[in-house]
């Protein structure tokens, strides 16, 4: 099992991580960050396997993965 931390201040809300997560563990937040972007949010339903796809795909290096 894995988990991720999304640094919401670095997120520009592009949704790439949402699209590519094979376990559908990331959703878009309703909240805005200080730059006015909707950041993404970890759902944490226990299905994250720490594959790192989200971190690799994020163009803003906003995601850290822990296993
Ligand atoms: S590490 Fe893999 S399973 Fe976990 S949130 Fe990222 S893409 Fe999804
Ligand atoms: S890929 Fe990165 S910048 Fe895009 S929504 Fe996900 S965390 Fe935010």
| CATH number of the CATH domain containing 10 | 3.30.70.20
Q: How does pLDDT run across 3-49, given as a tens digit for each residue?
A: 999 999 999 999 999 999 999 999 999 999 999 999 999 999 999 99
pLDDT at 46: 95
Domain of 25, in residue numbers: 3-66
Question: Could you tell me the CA-to-CA distances from 14 to 1, 7, 27, 46 in Å, in that order?
Answer: 26, 14, 11, 24
Q: For the chain, what is the domain count?
A: 1
Residues at CB less than 6 angstroms from ligand 2: 6, 11-17, 39-40, 58, 60, 62-63
Q: How far apart are CA 56 and CA 62, in angstroms?
A: 10
pLDDT at 52: 98
pLDDT at 32: 94
Torsion of CA 39, 22, 25, 32, to 10 degrees: 10
Q: Which of helix, strand or coil describes residue 24?
A: coil
- Indicate whether residue 48 lines ligand 1 (CB < 6 A): yes
pLDDT at 38: 94
Centre a 10 Å sphere on the Cβ of residue 5 and count the other Cβ atoms it contains: 12
């Amino acid at each position: 099992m894995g988990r991720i931390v999304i640094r919401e201040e670095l997120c520009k809300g592009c949704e790439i991580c949402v699209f590519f997560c094979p376990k559908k563990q990331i959703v878009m937040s309703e909240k805005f960050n200080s730059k006015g972007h909707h950041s993404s949010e970890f759902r944490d339903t226990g299905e994250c396997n720490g594959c790192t796809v989200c971190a690799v795909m994020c163009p803003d290096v906003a995601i850290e993965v822990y296993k």
